[in-house]
């Protein structure tokens, strides 16, 4: 394993084991549950993610696909991007991805 990955892993474990790490994990779970409580009310989306996971994968449900004419993957991605933009109006996936790539 390259040294930078070993150091990063070690520091991450140390952070997660600290009080600050516990606080960050608690905040992450609260934020995840809040977002999920809003999006789970949608009659157009469904998720296959575990409730305790901070990573949530949403997709358009079968009814939505059949009744809205969203046949192409590009149409589906456009609609899902609009959902993201509505939930996070100050950012978009492209901006978020750019921010990550700059780190």
What's residue 71's pLDDT?
83
Copy the structure tokens of residue 31: 């934020």
Residue with the larger pLDDT of the pair 11 and 88? 11
Confidence of residue 34 (pLDDT cuts 50, 70, 90): confident
> What is the per-residue pLDDT across 39-64, written as a single tens digit (0 to 9) for each?
888 888 888 888 888 888 888 888 98
The model's pTM: 0.58
> What is the per-residue pLDDT across 13-24, written as a single tens digit (0 to 9) for each?
998 899 999 998
């Amino acid at each position: 394993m390259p040294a930078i990955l070993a150091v990063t892993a070690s520091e991450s474990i140390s952070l997660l084991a600290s009080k600050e790490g516990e606080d960050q994990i608690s905040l992450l779970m609260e934020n995840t549950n809040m977002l999920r409580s809003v999006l789970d009310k949608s009659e157009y989306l469904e998720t296959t993610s575990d409730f305790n996971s901070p990573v949530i994968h949403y997709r358009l449900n079968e009814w939505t696909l059949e009744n809205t004419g969203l046949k192409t993957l590009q149409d589906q991605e456009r609609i899902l991007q609009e959902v993201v933009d509505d939930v996070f109006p100050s950012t978009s996936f492209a901006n978020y991805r750019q921010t990550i790539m700059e780190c």
